[in-house]
Structure 1
């Protein structure tokens, strides 16, 4: 059962900037699953926000920067944090290369080959998630699972940006 504090330190809605357009079916699927999973279970608390949530998050890109616009349930703005994408560029690029290999492999490769590629994919995803968690430190408190789901969305924004 959720506690009142847990109910407040969470996201209830995640929106991606409309300008990102549509992506491949595989990426669209990743995005939809990440948003669903993120809203279903997350730990998200802007540092210093005593009033608490729950929160709405709008992710977008502005001048090659990642924008986290956080609002209350009623839409009242709480805080906007802008992060450089530079620390994510290599990880995102490598992640998409491995994802392309993975999606190709699931159509043609042996189970052991698929498993090996998937291990690499998960490793890069974990690295990107930890980088995001580190970049949000002191701004927004998130747990690792929330960072993983957010990193998937960062990849979609970065890919379309």
Structure 2
């Protein structure tokens, strides 16, 4: 994956509804962090700077990949079914976490956060498996992509 990376990530506005400030913040941070540090290589394509447009169309996750100059490289369409339960679990634990931040003790917050990270890692691993043979990503990149998939998948 030498030299190949994402230089921009665009979320399809039609796939997203306004969300809570906490989710909006997580989304913005995930995009910023993803662009700052990532490992992203479309399989069979040369090392390059890539732009990723993520959307959900008819309950399918769409990865539209272009070169920095706008030239389309490849589009991958993935079923969301393998991620559905994990995203639902993640949504529930995030609600608990955001509520805990406001009212719980530090040890309670830490316990909920550990659970949240565990579910996030599980979702990231499933996403890496779904991308296998299509796009090579490392775990750090997969975690940030999972945050964005979560933001797209549960749009209100």
Normalised to the residue count of structure 2, the TM-score between the two structures is 0.97
Match of 1:157 among 145, 152, 156: 152
SS of 1:160's partner is: coil
SS of 2:31's partner is: helix
Following superposition of structure 1 onto structure 2, how do residues 11-160 of structure 1 map, counting pairs within 5 Å?
Answer: 11-19=6-14, 20-50=16-46, 52-160=47-155
Point out where structure 2 has 5 or more consecutive residues left out of the alignment. none
By how many angstroms is 1:53 displaced?
1.4
- Runs of 4+ in structure 1 deviating by more than 6 angstroms, as ranges, are none
Aligned length: 155
What is the rounded CA distance, in whole Å, between the counterparts of 1:68 and 1:14 in structure 2? 10
Q: Whose RCO is larger (CA < 8 A, sep 6+)? A: 2
Q: Give the alignment's Cα RMSD to 1 decimal.
A: 1.0
SS of 1:49's partner is: coil
Point out where structure 1 has 5 or more consecutive residues left out of the alignment. none
Deviations along 1:17-41, one digit per CA (max 9) or x if unpaired, are 0111321101100000000000000
